[in-house]
Structure 1
Amino acid sequence: MKRIYRYLGVSLSLSTILLQLPVSARSDNNSVSNNTPLYSLGLLIAENLPQAEFDYQDFDFWSNQCHVLENAQKYDEALAACEKAIALKPKRQNIDLWISRSNILMQQQRYAEAIASYDRVLKTEPKNSFALTQRCEALSLLGNNSDAIAYCEEALHVDGSWGSITPATAWFNRGVALRKLTRPEEALTSFERAVNLNSNYSVALAEQCGTLIDLQRYEEANKACDLAIKTNENWGKAKEAIAWNNKALALFNLGKMSEAVAAYEHALAMNPNDVTSWDNQGMLLHKMGQYEKALVSYDRATEINPKYSLAFAHRCDTLNRLQRYEEALSDCDRAVALTSTSNLGNENLAYLWHQRTNALLGLQKYETALDAAERAIALKLNYAEAWSNKGVILWNLKKYEEALVATKKAVDINPKYIQGWFNYGRVLSSLQKYQQAVTAYDQALNEDVKLVDNFTLASIWANKGVVLWRLKKYQLALNSINEATKLNPDSFEGWYNKGVILLDLARYNEALIAYYKAKEINSNNASVWTGIGIALARIGKNQAALKAFETALNINPNSTRAQRERDVLLSKF
């Protein structure tokens, strides 16, 4: 009776597999000798194990094992088998073995070695489109996207042997590399070509969705993601979660917040250990102003992958918004320390240094913050936010003319940058260029403010009110301040400035109400108590006014306005 031996579910004849080790391959302590192949013996399962010795120089056996183990995704054993077969007959072309070896190295994320292995294929078959396309992908994964594009284009040009893939794969890999190089229009064309060749190419549709988001074409992006999810085929190494992630971003930019949150929930339900989904969910919650919930998402991402530097950078951003600057700086520093082991790319590195700048700004470490801002700008020359931050730092260092240049650069780069116009206005105001400052604030408020938090909007209105007050346009100033306190009822600057304007309008009782509101928010401010004292004195409540002036001077003995008003009041007793 012919004995049949099973290998991982594949039936093989007796001449193919004999599990018993030959005597010459054993050692006295029953361990495998240095000459034993590196594949796992436990993977070979035999029935009625024969006692015959096996010829380890059998090329056909190792060649077969190379492919079978590759298909079984036993990559370490497969690689050893491939290399054993190649070593047995090195003078053969062995194209199929070199391709398997290369593919295995790709699966092991050993991209540089995979490239060298594909080069061996291309040396023999220069028009092997499969090897050219795979080399393109490996180069892109190593960050060498310009060369990657060239190899994908060469694969399409020669249109040679495609093996297990089609030209759609080359168009897809070309699109990925182009997108990484921030060339979205070209990337979109590449993904469209891939989808035209293979309408069921879900991962290409998902990348097409992402590229349309890059181009701010959110409705089209949402439709592309829906099609990817509906088709649900040919994901390659990706997962369906990538489409749900991109759909969430498209929905967010369309202002459909609850639907965006639901899309991220879909992504996480499919892959609860996907750090990208957790990180993206955190960014969405951050943009929605739900900062504490965002921190929970980032924490989950960093629990899954403690070396995920981008999540630490995003966490730093959120902590900056919460004004928890020490913690923010710690997270940014953690992200910086991890950059040596991660491939963030210049875009994300610039963002990281920008957030570190924000943390240092919050801690009033202006010189160090300036260095961080310069690092961000060096990584991304057209980084409007970093230029604006640089201006704010210079403004705090009282280098107003330099600050003006930096903040103007920011709005020149991005004329729709609301915070940039706000900062530019503040610098203009410091230089007493009040009318230009009003124009800058108006520019900020005329942009699409739906994604700007109320705190920032209230600050813009409050600062505009101060400048209008400087221009003696009191009613317009009061209107601006009212907008500020409506948007942010806890705006100290809003209520304080309202008190100042109402004093100038001789509306003392209303001024008193505004100052008391400011006092509730910050009772340790000498200017607030001085304002309270002035308003009380103007309505004849001299004793209460005197107490207010004394409180102001206890807080700040050098407050000349409080001293002067107190002395005038005392002269009346």
Structure 2
Amino acid sequence: MAFRRITSLILLSIALAAVSSSTPAAAEEKFWLGDGLTLLRNQKFAEAIVPLTKAIKQSSNSWSSDYHNAVVVMSKVKTVEEYFEVKNHSMYVINACTARGVAYGSMGEDQKAIEDFNLAMKAFTVSPKARCNRGRVYLRLKMPEQAIKDFDAAIQQTKHLAEAYVGRARAYQLIGQPKKAEADMSRAAVVRKDPEHEFVETDFHRECLVDDALKLNPKNAVLLSEKGMVCLNNNQLDKGIEFFKQAIAANPNLFEAYGGMADCYLNQENYDAALVFAKKQEKMKPGNNRALMRMGLIYLNSHRLKEGAPYLKRILSLPAKTAEEYRFRGLCYMGLDKPREALVEIEKSIKLDDRNPHTWDDRAMCLHDLNRYSEAIKAENQAISINPNYATAYVHRAQMYAKLHSLEAADADLDRALTLAPKDKSIYRIKSAVEALRGNLELSFADGQTGNTMYRTTRAVTRDELIKESARYSKIISTIPSQPAPYYDRAMLRIAMENLPAGIEDLHNFLKLSKWNGRSASYAASLLVLTLRENGQRKEAEETLQAAAKRMNAANSVPILEFLLGKKDQQAMLTSSTSGNTETRDRLLLGIYLWQNKKNAEAKTQFDWVQNKGDQNIDEYVLVSVYSRKLGIIPRKERHQSDSR
């Protein structure tokens, strides 16, 4: 089955990795900051002080320690290499000061910690991370008002630091404002979870530095191009294109601007325009690896694999050393329809860098193509744990859930994706398909329409087939235990195997996890009542009916449940059950009810209708065989299923 893919902005990170090698000369001699951060993360605070002090001395100069001076220097850069030198030098100081402040604070040397956070804020005046750290020190010193000022400033600059909300909540508690504290804790629960001792200023610092430098020199081609990169990274593609156009107008020979323009068009799925600019870039530096990879990426995304195959093969002939290079080799193999080879390259990339969410997403794609869906979901879980705001991972995981028939999980992921990327029309199309096909239709995400709709579950009639299908759903449940749908599907199979206690347990789990919401819950409650009665648990059956009467309403009730509750007689129930799959469910469960009450002739009438006129695609259809045999009816062979409905 074809699968909708959304390739990430791989070339953006490749470009950054390639150019960022122009770090300060002193840093190349010895990366003291890296040593200090490693010790800090291992909670060796006293040991971390020495390398972090060396890092501060190493990178401090007349402009890197003062943000305003850094902006002036940045406004005069003439090459991308100069831009990265200024940016990296400034960032080095900020992180080194912040890290040493954390070390001092963890050792209880609060005054030294505050002095270092002040140095970090001098190097980057709005530094939200340093403000959060200083705010925590003020909390420890019982100075909640000062702490609130710092947390307020951090939140004003960025909404993505959970620790800022947590810190401010603690400060509010100290000054006796519990409602404000509760509101902040609620907010902290939904924003991105950044580890407390990670240093997350990089992207935010880069954006501020570029914006402020452009105010001093609005026609600087390098800065315009970097502003375009910022917009590209934030998915503001139209804005990015405008900035790249301005950069090219100011300097027609700026290699990076053409690549950025191509990336913007690529992400807008305007592949023809993307190829125009990618080819112009490659002409400027024939054989350039980054330009070659960009061409390959465009061919991959546009599915022009025959045209792009020569580029993909050229890329695969290049040696790979970095995580991004191995990752791109994997993408090329995927484009050449070689998922096994792709998985090998992707896993090499992960070994070198396991913190790139895009690579975990790529791994999921390889596993999908190898029909290893549960493993693919786990790979997407990794991607989302690294970047909870990664919309593509939610879309891909939703599609994987759909392959496993867990439509509630798919729906939840698509809702999350839409909050993150509300303008992505393709997500709406996929979501519409899931909503339209909820219940029992297999999804074809390649074009958003239904294909052959017969589940394997409805075909399972022999005991071996039932056992096999039940095991498959057990594996799904072990992967996604919090999703209700697989429990309902497994319950059908267990009841069909006459393992009533296990079926009852699954139906209870389904109702608990679904919170009794929706028409599916009404059918689950109805079947649970019937199964409890059949298993001799009449008291529990009546308790379930009473619970259903309290929880169900006109919007989510179904005819069979209203019949069991005594709200409708049998004829009224059948009259109100009109749609194909609803009527099939109602008549099937009615047949079970009639059989339980020894009205076999009436029960046979219902099962004859289900087999002759019913919708064989419903999940519950697997019960037909077992109850037909109980009634002495030979189950009919399934009718041929058409490819459309």
TM-score by length of 1: 0.45
- Asked which structure has the greater RCO (Cα within 8 Å, sep 6+), the reply is 2
